[in-house]
Amino acid sequence: MSCVGIAGYGVSIPSYRIKAGEIARVWGEEEGRIVKGLGLSEKSVPGLDEDAATLAVDAARRAVSHAGIDPYDIKSMFIGSESHPYAVKPTATIVAEAIGATPNLFAADYEFACKAGTAGVINTYALIKSGEIDYGMGIGADTSQGRPGDALEYSAGAGAAAFLLGRKDVIANIEGIYSYATDTPDFWRREHAIYPSHGGRFTGPPGYFKHVIGGAKGIMEKMGTKPRDYAYAVFHQPNGKFPRTVAKKLGFTAEQIEPGLITPYIGNTYSAATLIGLAAVLDAAKPGDAILVASFGSGAGSDAFHIEASDLIDERRNAYPVRRIIENKRYIDYGTYAKHRRKLVL
Amino acid sequence: MKPGLPLLWRRTKERYNLIGSKCESCGTHYMPGRAVCPKCRRKGKLVEHKFSGKGRIYSYTVVRVAPEGYEYFVPYVLAIINLDEGAKITGQIVDADPDKIEVGQKVEMVFRKIHEDNPEGLITYGFKFKLAD
């Protein structure tokens, strides 16, 4: 009776998109080289009035409506982001207020580069598993920035995913968790800095690959499973290339990872990326399907989950499937993008 | 132009969740909420009402010369929305081409940033509207 699962989930992605080719045109790069090198062709851009908090609210409202519960029953709210609107003042209270979960709940913000979202989900899981609360929400939300002209500018997207966990009427059970972390200086942003700095190729093998492999192997060892035991695998997706490479290294096939690979269409949504991938997989999963999830956050660490879809998943499909959300898009040029991201200051 | 913190804070409910009021005597909905029903007076019984956020454009205008703090948005659409429950409120229509807006279009509430004082100031959030799917 202590099994914790996903009672509902919700995803929000801004409707604006910029093509990699449009960014490449401005910086004199070859579009083909960028698209092939990063494995993505466009990214999402937040509207002028969207930030991590507004995207989180949209995702959270969808998760509550998917779960069909009274939002007042949500007793914890964790939001992971590296673009919290305030340096000091929680995003979690804004979201809790906007979904009607205040005042009797535990609310806190997280920061751990791209894995702050799964960090929130793990803590929600822990609170429910301990018997302290019945429902809690973990959200990953970001509107991250890349330095103009930097490789990150092609991939830094915007989006949010909210996971409402509970024990009753879940669409999928979280059968196990495993985390892996070391002090690795692959990517960072100092206080007051607008853009992050990174170690270029150093972000690969000692950063992303070491930790995602550490997380994924750790959860499989803990559960006594092999890659072939999973219907789907979702890895953090900073671009379209890394998750495909790590899947191959771990022994997962394209069929297992492609359904959860969303970054090629919306860019890297940072704290939301792994969770949006998981949402896309849950949109398609059948009862009994096992799903391996391994996030990654620079600095560095990975949170891994072994999830199994329950018998309820077929009758409780999400009204806002990820693949449909990403189809709602309007393209903007680099000038409009620069205005949206406040790279142009009035 | 800049309202005080207590005023903004008092309006959080209304701005975040479209919470107004409804008179249980005559069934009229009010947004923003009222303490007294002007139709029923002392016979009225007002209770809090959370609006569904769905409605239709009753009238609109396109703002091309923005007041301070809204310069980035021009041109933007400001509309009077006839909420499904009956009350009318003013709100911005987001993510829409001003040329494609028409009276009668269905809209739904979204949660967006309304205003930022300055880079160090408070960010005000609340309802805006987008064209319904």
Closest CA to A46 of A247, A337, A262, A259: A337
pLDDT tens for each residue of B4-15: 899 999 999 999
| Chain B partners within 8 Å of A61 (Cβ) | 111
Q: Can you say whether residue B24 is alpha, beta or left, with left for phi > 0 and alpha for psi between -120 and 50 degrees?
A: alpha
Q: Is B72 on the interface with A (CB under 8 A)?
A: yes
CB-based contacts of B7: which residues, under 8 Å, 6+ apart?
none
Beta-carbon separation of B110 and A58 below 8 A: yes
Instruction: Return the residue of B nearest to A99 by Cα.
Output: B17
| Domains within chain A, CATH numbers bracketed | 4-171+316-340 (3.40.47.10), 174-309 (3.40.47.10)
Which residues from chain A sit within 8 angstroms of residue B112, using beta carbons?
A: 47, 49-50, 54
pLDDT at position A207 is: 96
Predicted ipTM of the assembly? 0.95
Q: Which two tokens stand for residue A306?
A: 């072994």
Instruction: With beta carbons under 8 A apart, name residues in chain B contacting A17.
Output: none
Question: Closest Cα of chain B to A158: distance in Å?
Answer: 15
Confidence at residue B125, expressed as pLDDT on a 0 to 100 scale:
97
Q: Catalytic: A3?
A: no
The pLDDT value given to residue A52: 98
Marked catalytic residue, from A22, A42, A114, A306: A114
Give the bridge partners for A209, in sequence order.
none
Q: Helices A116-129 and A273-284 meet at what angle, rounded to 10?
A: 60
CB contact under 8 A, A54 and B72: no
Per-residue b/e over A170-203, b at no fewer than 16 CB within 10 Å? bbbbbbbbbbbbeebebbebeeeeeebebeeeeb
B12: contact with A, CB 8 A cutoff: yes
Are A162 and A60 in contact, with CB atoms under 8 Å apart?
A: yes
**Hey, are the CB atoms on B72 and A57 less than 8 Å from each other?**
no
pLDDT band per the 50, 70, 90 thresholds, residue B116: confident
Report how far residue A254's alpha carbon sits from residue B60's, in angstroms, rounded to the nearest whole number: 50
The reply to whether residue A98 touches residue B125, judged by beta carbons under 8 angstroms, is yes
Would an 8 Å CB–CB cutoff place A127 in contact with chain B?
A: no
B1 has a pLDDT exceeding 60:
no
Q: Residue type for A317, please? A: R
| Of residues A15, A48, A57, nearest to B111 (C-beta) | A57
For chain A, positions 85-114, list CB contacts with chain B under 8 A: 85-86, 94, 97-98, 100
Number of Cβ within 10 Å of residue B105's Cβ equals 17
Could you count the other beta carbons within 10 Å of the beta carbon of residue B97?
10
From first to last of the 346 residues of chain A, give the pLDDT tens digit.
Answer: 458 999 999 999 999 999 999 999 999 999 999 999 999 999 999 999 999 999 999 999 999 999 999 999 999 999 999 999 999 999 999 999 999 999 999 999 999 999 999 999 999 999 999 999 999 999 999 999 999 999 999 999 999 999 999 999 999 999 999 999 999 999 999 999 999 999 988 999 999 999 999 999 999 999 999 999 999 999 999 999 999 999 999 999 999 999 999 999 999 999 999 999 999 999 999 999 999 999 999 999 999 999 999 999 999 999 999 999 999 999 999 999 999 998 888 7
Q: How large is the average pLDDT for residues B73-99?
A: 96
A236 noted as active-site residue: yes
- Walk across the sheet containing B46-50 and list its strands: B29-30, B19-23, B46-50
From chain B, pick out residues whose CB is under 8 angstroms from the CB of A97. Answer: 12, 16
Please give the residue of chain A at the shortest CA–CA distance from B130: A15
Task: Give chain A positions within 8 Å (CB) of B94.
Answer: 47, 49
Q: Give CA separation, B64 vs A52, A335, B58, B98, in Å.
A: 28, 19, 20, 10
A305 touches A234 (CB < 8 A): no
Give the span between the Cα atoms of A286 and A283, in whole angstroms. Answer: 9
Give the distance, in angstroms, between the CA of residue A173 and the centroid of all CA atoms in the same chain.
19
Cβ of residue B54 closer than 8 Å to a chain A Cβ: no
Residue B17 distance to chain A (closest CA, Å): 6
**Which token pair is A39?**
């494995």
Write the CATH number of the domain with boundaries B5-16+53-131: 2.40.50.840
Neighbours of A270 (CB within 10 A): 32
pLDDT score at A1: 46
